[in-house]
Amino acid sequence: MISKIMMFAMSIASRGLDNKTTDLETKKLRHVSCFGLDEIKSCPKLIKSTKSDFYYCGGCGCGDHPHTWLEKNLGEYSKLDYPHLTCPLKMPGFSNYDPNNPLEDLDRKKQIEQMPPENLKFVELTVSCDLEKQELLEKLLKIIKDS
């Protein structure tokens, strides 16, 4: 129980006071790890909320609350937006991702790991910020990195 509280506190702290979000590519990879894509099936721990049309993780023990919904409406901060976020299955895209961790669903994990990176462009999700600003920031950071 203490470790779950600590992981939640780390996620909250990573958000900061100005609602920092993870980069778009990481959020898309997290989305695939949770919801699947094409032949990659969704996570067996994924549960539909009884309070909304959204989904939450049934493996982390956080329950069905607005702050635990993995995706939300456009402009709303969702669980997949946190810069630091752990997954009980240690799947790709999450802060505690471990490629060597034996899992109950190893085949699905391997499918995600072997998925061509360009497939992420087909992932549709809601964003908690202005998408245009996010894309401009990512381009600027790439220019700085490449120079």
CB 27 within 8 A of CB 81: yes
List the domain range (segments joined by +) for residue 31.
Answer: 2-146
Q: How many domains does the chain have?
A: 1
Report pLDDT for 126.
60
pTM of the model: 0.77
pLDDT per position as a tens digit, 49-99? 999 999 999 988 888 999 899 998 888 889 999 899 999 999 999 999 988
pLDDT per position as a tens digit, 93-136? 999 998 887 667 788 899 999 998 888 888 876 655 555 566 66
